[in-house]
Structure 1
Amino acid sequence: MRITGGKAVYGASVGILMLEARFPRILGDMGNAGTWDFPVLYRVVRDASPDRVVRKGGEGLLPAFIEAARSLEADGADGITTNCGFLALFQEELASSVSIPVLTSSLMQVRAVNAMLPKGKRAGVLTISRSTLTPGHLAAAGVPEGTPIGTTEGGAHFTEAILGDAPDLDPALAEEDNVSAAMALVRANPEIGAIVLECTNMTPYASAIRSATGLPVFSMVTFVNWFQGAIRPRRWSVDLH
């Protein structure tokens, strides 16, 4: 049997475009390789700080993200994702710049989650920065107008630790902020039947949010696991006897 090459790296089907940040990447964070049950390829986009992407709209960064996406494809990625939901703004341009699937934002799940829910129920979104999550971000991700949105902004620790790229993170305080914000979102919108976490750094607290609210919680990790299952389907052995 002849095997033809072409990739620089084999066995890692998902490439992740990373913001440049130094805050701790705890287990459950996309930037912690231990989060994944499969190998991934990372590419850090220099100067793409959390503050610049989330609070300043990623202005001037699109060429660097396109270059990094093309680099991941050249190295062997079969699909590309990112570690910031606010990069939904770049979805169309990134998808057009490579020949493999691109998944920029957890927000892209909202319509699918809505389709799963009983009549009268809909998804709510929890974001790290409601003040800078614009209609443009939501439209780029296909989020329906009027979707309820809650935020950890104004909390004791989480938003400022991540967007300020703090050298230290207190997971207990971060969890408290996320749970409190999720509970406030649900109290204000009793029609919510599931929560979609916009911020990829919220994933470590998904279980606590689920326990507190009793609702399904969708994150970028659940989304990328689905994504990876499509670009690298499991091979089943069939016993016909």
Structure 2
Amino acid sequence: MTRNDIAPRLARGGKSIYGAPLGILMLEARFPRIAGDMGNGETWPFPVLFRVVRGASPERVVLNGAAGLLPDFVDAARDLVDLGADAITTNCGFLTLFQAELAAAVRVPVATSSLLQVPWVQAMLPPGQRVGVVTVSKSSLTPAHLDAIGVPRDIPVEGTEDGREFFRVLIRAEAQDMDVALAEQDILDAGRRLVARHPDIGAIVLECTNMPPYAAALRDELGLPVYDIYSMITWFHAGLRPRRF
């Protein structure tokens, strides 16, 4: 058999890394990323690419509006795309502020926040029900964050600022270790306050990408559907690599 008799099987090139179409922009932090956390590689049922944006601490992004960090996020996103990412996401829901700019800069699909799910979930609820949000910092979630992705400004929101563990470790960086039981209690307390104040809530969206480990417990506690960054990114990835039947 000659070379001309062999049917070509062309492998496409142009990337440095293959088989991991999703790139995740990470804040710079040292708290424990337990199973279910977006920054734990074992959370995902598919390979991902991580890129830490140096200087982008949770406190700077959440409490200070990510001031001055857009160029750093753009550079990091472009680096992930150059490596092989076909789409970009981030590990902080407050980065909705950069949704339009990142999508324009990298020209691949970008999903900056779990809050992008709010309009979808609202469309699925019966009349008279609405979506509620549990966030790491209610006082920091401004109209600008909501407007950037089309979330209504009057959406019910509850935060974890007054909790004993979650906020102080993740945002204030007062410790590198975390009491997971106390962190879970902070999420449950916020969820209970939210539905007590707004009994018309029919589903919850968790803003913070560190909250998926507690989503099942919150669902059990409230008896309501709970959506988070895990639910959104598994959907996002399904479009990048559709299942073959």
Which TM-score tier does this pair reach, normalised by the shorter chain?
over 0.9
Alpha-carbon displacement from aligned partner over 1:32-70 (angstroms, at most 9, x marks no partner)? 000000000000000000000000000010000000000
The 2-side partners of 1:189 and 1:127 are apart by 16
The 1-side partners of 2:55 and 2:132 are apart by 31
Which of structure 1's runs of 4+ aligned residues deviate more than 4 A?
none
Is 1:106 the equivalent of 2:136?
no
Identity %: 59
The 2-side partners of 1:164 and 1:22 are apart by 11
1:43 match: secondary structure: strand
The 1-side partners of 2:11 and 2:77 are apart by 26
TM-score (norm 2): 0.95
Residue 169 of structure 1 is matched in structure 2 by 178
Find the partner of 1:80 among 80, 85, 88: 88
1:65 match: secondary structure: helix
The 1-side partners of 2:86 and 2:191 are apart by 34
Letter of the 2:181 counterpart: A
Residue 52 of structure 2 is matched in structure 1 by 44
Find the partner of 2:127 among 92, 112, 119: 119
Counterparts of 1:82-97 in structure 2 under 5 Å?
82-97=90-105
2:151 match: secondary structure: coil
Quote the offset at 1:174 in angstroms. Answer: 0.3
Counterparts of 1:57-76 in structure 2 under 5 Å?
57-76=65-84
Quote the offset at 1:138 in angstroms. Answer: 0.9
Quote the offset at 1:160 in angstroms. Answer: 1.0
TM-score (norm 1): 0.97
Counterparts of 1:212-223 in structure 2 under 5 Å?
212-223=221-232
The 2-side partners of 1:142 and 1:234 are apart by 30
Quote the offset at 1:132 in angstroms. Answer: 1.0
Is 1:151 the equivalent of 2:136?
no
Structure 1 spans left out of the alignment, 5+ residues = 237-241
Point out the more displaced range, 158-167 or 40-49: 158-167
The 1-side partners of 2:10 and 2:153 are apart by 53
Quote the offset at 1:13 in angstroms. Answer: 1.0
Quote the offset at 1:145 in angstroms. Answer: 2.5
Find the partner of 2:205 among 180, 186, 196: 196
Find the partner of 1:231 among 213, 223, 240: 240
Residue 239 of structure 1 is matched in structure 2 by none
The 1-side partners of 2:241 and 2:108 are apart by 13
